[in-house]
Structure 1
């Protein structure tokens, strides 16, 4: 028998996995005017909370979930966003498409979310204003992308790579960059060795040596050129 309420659905999920092992919780289309069933549980590793089309009128019932980075609350009737500041301090991507966001003042609490970089308000009344994008970027200093585009109208091509759906990947970008730098340094060392007289003595033909060196150099340059990091 399918769960008819949020609490029933969450209870069923908790029968399968303890709360602290759940990283994604999808409550889409489970109708309720407020959240229920989340309180009293330790969702210590919850990263993604989806509440699409639930008929929510507020974030009432939302417990403190410091780990959550993505909240999709699109297609609801929410107007008050202030609970998110206290309950979801690490929020990175917030989808509010199709909610009752009519004035820029309603978004001002989000300025306190220092990690918030991706916001969606498409199909909200506020998005009908001609200069709504400028107002929102000015209101939320940390914001990088609004409705899929940055302040210069450059499109966010890969949300997962940027961190929206998989913020952990974004968290490891610095480490990935360091690994790429180490690989580049290793190739440079290899080229230096090949250029040394001791390495060149093994080849009889000077033309062959020059061709080999140039080929390796072109390969290293090509590989280095491919590793151009995305702007985050």
Structure 2
């Protein structure tokens, strides 16, 4: 499925301005570009485009409220200066599994004053000597790099993960209610039998 169709599917009869979270993972981008996403998604706070074949973020629309951007497992090798212009409130950026080889590629992220968390797992840049120290020096606004702070303390779960867990909990609750609705009637039929031998005796006649 291409990206435009996926966006249409994810809207589910909503208008773009109603959408705060949009997951487009594993769809197909034509020519390695973001397609179908417009600045009408003005309330968007979380965008995930994992493994969609992106080579550039140049066509990212203006998303003033976007806080979390997942771009992992694509083929992006540069052009990150667009992010500061298009997503000025970005706090979390995942570029893991892209073709980022040197520090100069991520240098434009200095302009993202609110950026707190950056992930670069499985990028060649992580093989550089003193990689972590150099990135923290280059991007002093960062709190976490690849899930850990300067003192190697692990970052807490992200809001996106907490949100996902909340959805799972809701589904579990619904499943529990469904299971209860199937079990309770049988329990209620068995309860009278627990009140002694007479209940057992009379059960043969009714």
**TM-score category (smaller protein):** 0.7 to 0.9
Q: Which residue of 2 aligns with 1:37?
A: 36
**1:27 maps to 2:36:** no
Q: 2:60 aligns with which of 39, 62, 74?
A: 62
Partner SS state of residue 69, structure 2 = strand
What is the CA–CA distance in structure 1 between the aligned matches of 2:161 and 2:141, rounded to whole Å?
A: 18
Partner SS state of residue 66, structure 2 = coil
What is the CA–CA distance in structure 2 between the aligned matches of 1:88 and 1:79, rounded to whole Å?
A: 19
Q: Which residue of 2 aligns with 1:87?
A: 86
What is the CA–CA distance in structure 1 between the aligned matches of 2:28 and 2:101, rounded to whole Å?
A: 23
Q: 2:3 aligns with which of 2, 6, 18?
A: 6
How many residue pairs end up in the alignment?
160
Deviations 1:31-53 (A, max 9, x none): 221100012x5112111000101
**1:112 maps to 2:111:** yes
* Closer, same or farther: CA 107–166 of 1 in aligned 2, 3 Å: farther
What is the CA–CA distance in structure 1 between the aligned matches of 2:100 and 2:139, rounded to whole Å?
A: 15
Normalised to the residue count of structure 2, the TM-score between the two structures is 0.73
Cα deviation for residue 165 of structure 1 reads: 5.3
Unaligned runs of at least 5 residues, structure 1: 168-232
Q: Which residue of 1 aligns with 2:120?
A: 121
Cα deviation for residue 119 of structure 1 reads: 0.4
What is the CA–CA distance in structure 2 between the aligned matches of 1:14 and 1:150, rounded to whole Å?
A: 36
What is the CA–CA distance in structure 1 between the aligned matches of 2:90 and 2:58, rounded to whole Å?
A: 17
* 1:70 and 1:165 in contact (8 A); partners too: no
CA root-mean-square deviation: 1.7
Moved over 6 A (4+): none
Q: Which residue of 1 aligns with 2:69?
A: 71
Partner SS state of residue 135, structure 2 = helix
**1:103 maps to 2:110:** no
Cα deviation for residue 15 of structure 1 reads: 5.0
What is the CA–CA distance in structure 1 between the aligned matches of 2:86 and 2:162, rounded to whole Å?
A: 20
What is the CA–CA distance in structure 1 between the aligned matches of 2:162 and 2:105, rounded to whole Å?
A: 27
